[in-house]
Amino acid sequence: MMIRRLAVWLAASLILVQAHAGQSSVVQLASVYAAVASLDGNQLQVAKHADRQVPIASITKLMTAMVVLDAGLDLDEYLTVQPREQKLGKTAWTRMRNSSQARRGDLLHIALMSSENIACDVLARHFPGGLQAFVAAMNSKAKSLGMDDSVFFDPAGLSPNNRSTAADLVKMVRAAYQYDRIREVTTSTFHQVTFRKPRYSLQYGNTNPLVRSSRWDVSLSKTGYLSEAGRCLVMVSRINGEPTILVLLDSLGTRTPIGDAGRVRRWLETGNPGSIAVAAKNYERERTAAYRVDSVSQNGSVQ
């Protein structure tokens, strides 16, 4: 037992040394960018390109939820569903009927659990000062959390200009975890919303299958996807008895972040680094090359 613990400790030490040296982690991850940390700790246990600012898609919605809840607005108030105000060049398909009404709390629930994009727009437009004030509050909240490499342009994450780093998102997830409501709704499996004017009901499900798995103890979750951001997942799960934050950004396949979560847990529990498919390695090379070109064109250097 002592030998096994020593082996795990040595593996953990090695990954931290490599991470700080800018090298890839010992644990093999298909996600291009990643960060893992204890909920109560400050040091990253895994850091894979964790300081690179990249699109974060619907991971944005955790910030949206915090801004809504910080405002102390009535969660039972009915809000009117309307077409999206911002034109971001992205399709925001919804099952909600235009001009119908739903409670603010229900809209917050399906925005987080099912990544309902129009629900975010409705929440922001019914914020004091409207959408512009809401986005300003998102950026102000980010600064207050020390997320110095993060910027928000819309409340749903449809804009690829919503950008952050894996390290910054650890801070955001840690802050979001302090909200009982966010923990509750992001880990619920299904939720039914009853609308009025006209009256109808819609059933929604969680976009993260791990919340329904008996093998995982998930206490916060959010998924995301844009073509510019790839498949993304952030969550808090108990691993080795320790609440652990996982930030996994820009994966190729729908289930790739799920596989990476398993690889992280296995590495933390056993020291087994795992392996990833050749396609994932090729995808990472392509995305890294594109990042370098974009970074040089914008800043004159690679971050």
Q: What is the pLDDT along the chain (303 residues), one digit of tens a residue?
A: 434 443 433 344 444 433 333 334 479 999 999 999 999 988 999 999 999 999 999 999 999 999 999 999 999 999 999 987 777 667 678 999 999 999 999 999 999 999 999 999 999 999 999 999 999 999 999 999 999 999 999 999 999 999 999 999 999 999 999 999 999 999 999 999 999 999 999 999 999 999 999 999 999 999 999 999 999 999 999 999 999 999 999 999 889 999 999 999 999 999 999 999 999 999 999 999 988 877 766 665 554
Residue 194's CB: how many other CB atoms inside 10 A? 11
Domain count, the chain: 1
The one catalytic residue among 31, 48, 61, 237: 61
Report the pLDDT value the prediction gives residue 43, as an integer from 0 to 100. Answer: 92
The one catalytic residue among 25, 58, 114, 159: 58
| Cβ partners under 8 Å of residue 94, min gap 6 | 81, 116, 117, 118, 119
∠217-221-227 over CA atoms, to 5°? 135
Report the pLDDT value the prediction gives residue 56, as an integer from 0 to 100. Answer: 98
Cβ atoms 251, 30 nearer than 8 A: yes
Tokens of 23: 């090298």
Distance from C-alpha of 113 to C-alpha of 185, rounded to nearest angstrom: 6
Closest CA to 141 of 40, 74, 234, 66: 66
Cβ atoms 174, 66 nearer than 8 A: no
* E strand residue ranges, 71-205: 78-80, 101-103, 163-164, 190-195, 200-205
Distance from C-alpha of 250 to C-alpha of 92, rounded to nearest angstrom: 20
Are β-strands 78-80 and 190-195 bridged in parallel, bridged antiparallel, or unpaired?
unpaired
Looking up residue 223, the CATH number of its domain turns out to be 3.40.710.10
Max Cα separation, the chain?
66
Cβ atoms 192, 201 nearer than 8 A: yes
The one catalytic residue among 114, 115, 221, 237: 115
185 is in which domain, residue-wise?
Answer: 2-299
Are β-strands 200-205 and 190-195 bridged in parallel, bridged antiparallel, or unpaired?
antiparallel
Are β-strands 33-38 and 44-48 bridged in parallel, bridged antiparallel, or unpaired?
antiparallel
Catalytic residue check, 61: yes
Report the pLDDT value the prediction gives residue 42, as an integer from 0 to 100. Answer: 84
Report the pLDDT value the prediction gives residue 300, as an integer from 0 to 100. Answer: 57
